[in-house]
Structure 1
Amino acid sequence: MATLTVSGVSRWFGNVVAVNDVTMSIDPGITGLLGPNGAGKSTLIHLLGGFLPPSAGTVTLDDAPVWKNPEVYRTIGLVPEREATFDFLTGWEFVLANAELHGLDQPAAATRKALATVAMEYAQERKVGEYSKGMKQRVKMASALVHEPSVLLLDEPFNGMDPRQRMHLMDLLRKMGADGRTVLFSSHILEEVEQLAHHIEVVVAGRHAASGDFREIRRLMTDRPHQFVIRSSDDRALASALIADGSTEGVSLDLQDKALRVQASHLLSFAELLPRVARGAGIRLYEVSPADESLESVFSYLVKA
């Protein structure tokens, strides 16, 4: 069992603040680090892995500082988002090199086991430069697992993987979490986190936006007001009909875009309301599209919640 603790951590690069006063604890099991692209997830993972010093605050592994502490690498395995591979090596040579760097008693046996764990034995004699992105992701995973770390840090691990590879990796991570390892993986895709993590940490623009059970945070996301852009055969009449119903929080007419902007408090109720109101008024609907379904808008809502 191992716990990573981030206490009041900030990290800046010149005038750019990448991580801003973040405090969180990563416990055994699977934790998802969720945030839009550019939110600071990769910086946080590099801080947790001891590859970057905090500009302020502390990062510890079971109360021991991570920065300038080589001993933590006996415990931590890191899979970075960038390729971080040597294309001139075979998959076997790449993983074996990491096993030897860790000073393992039987590096060849450990390499064989790690490659089998990620189902890459069939390609172990091919050069890494010939691998697809998904295969490179898996050989990086084998390299990170070769010393059987109790803490695994994964930065966007599913990038470039096909559906079969994704399912295999998800099953592997579930098993590791069930075995009591501390697994943290970052993603900007809500569904990936939903399928794997029971606990999540949400970061937005370098700040800690939310923390806790995924279901509770997902409920906050579901309960937020929903905004839609609607184009119809008669936007003014539709606006009047929607306002008269009283179940929408706001309706405005965008003259420039020639569309309605509607804010609904409950998605399912609005999905039932809109076609009923349009049919009753004899109005044809040409377009109904969400205006706030980007992850950035979801996370912005969480920050305000």
Structure 2
Amino acid sequence: MSTIEIDQASRWYGNVVAVNGISMTVRPGVTGLLGPNGAGKTTLIAMMSGFLAPSAGSVTLDGTAIWRHTDAYRAIGLVPERELSFGYLTGREFVRANAELHGLADPGAATERALDVVEMAEPAGRRIGTYSKGMRQRVKLASALVHDPAVLLLDEPFNGVDPRQRLHLMTLLRRMGAEGRTVLFSSHILEEVEQVARQIEVVVSGRHAASGDFGQIRRLMTDRPVQYVVVGDDDRGLASALIAEPSVVAVSLRPKGGVDVSVSDFGAFTVRLPRVAREHGIRVLELTPTDESLESVFAYLVGG
């Protein structure tokens, strides 16, 4: 069993900081690396897999720095997000090439074992260029597993995969975590992470925002104040009435009409809003969330 330790790791490109002072521990089992697009997830995975050196801090596998450490590379399997550019190879040829690069004693047998694990033995004789997105993901996974690594890193493995293939990949990852491998995969969708990962690490704008099991992360997200715009036929009266509600944190009038409302308990607010409006003789014309994007949720976690 292996553990990856990231200690105050940063990575920058000129004046651009991709990862900023992140510390986290990735242990055996399945860990989800959650964050919006552009958060630094791919850079983190590149440092964990030995493809990038940290500009500052350290990234170690079982206490040894990963960068330029050949033995560490033998223990790591990587499934990158980028599409395969070897469409002219068959799936079997692609997986076997990786087995030979690792110098395995019996690359043929290792190739067939890896293809069997991901249920790709039958179509492995076809060229990769004819594969569906899900099949390409599975053959990439077979290539990453061919040397039986203790650590498996996957960058957005569910992107563009149909529901049946997604379910199959999720089942595979859970099984590998249960076998004692250290599995980390990145995603920008909380629901994907919840279905697979025991532990979740949240990153945004290159920083570590939160850490915990999915229940803890879900509570952090749902307990935050939520912003809405309420438009009625009497904005001032509505604002005055809403500020008295326990579920409302703050209200302000919008210059062009409507009321900005910050809500701490969405459930209570949805029950009370129509009642308050009726009690004060106000017609509610529109209720619109203003910050329901993942980016706003992650930004809240960073600031909290």
Q: Give the TM-score band, short-chain normalised.
A: over 0.9
Percentage of pairs with the same residue: 65
Q: Deviations over 1:162-215 (max 9, x none)?
A: 001111111111111111110011111111111221211111111112222332
- Return closer, same or farther for 1:286/1:164 CA change in 2, 3 Å cut-off: farther
* Paired position in structure 1 for 2:197: 197
CA distance in 2, matches of 1:173, 1:286: 47
* Paired position in structure 2 for 1:301: 300
- Return closer, same or farther for 1:279/1:142 CA change in 2, 3 Å cut-off: farther
Alignment of 1:255-266 (within 5 A): 255-256=255-256, 258-266=257-265
Q: Deviations over 1:25-72 (max 9, x none)?
A: 111011111111111110000000000011111111111111111222
- Return closer, same or farther for 1:302/1:109 CA change in 2, 3 Å cut-off: same
- How far did 1:281 drift? 3.8
| 8 Å contact kept, 1:85–1:140 | no
TM-score, with length taken from structure 2: 0.94
CA distance in 2, matches of 1:107, 1:284: 72
| 8 Å contact kept, 2:253–2:259 | yes
Alignment of 1:1-305 (within 5 A): 1-256=1-256, 258-305=257-304
CA distance in 2, matches of 1:280, 1:174: 52
Letter of the 2:296 partner, please give it: S
| 8 Å contact kept, 2:28–2:182 | yes
Letter of the 2:129 partner, please give it: G
CA distance in 1, matches of 2:99, 2:13: 33
- How far did 1:244 drift? 3.8
Root-mean-square deviation (CA, aligned residues, Å) is 1.7
- How far did 1:77 drift? 0.3
Aligned residues: 304
- How far did 1:261 drift? 1.3
Unaligned runs of 5+ residues in structure 2 are none
CA distance in 2, matches of 1:116, 1:160: 23
- How far did 1:284 drift? 4.0
Letter of the 2:301 partner, please give it: L
Matched position secondary structure for 2:286: strand
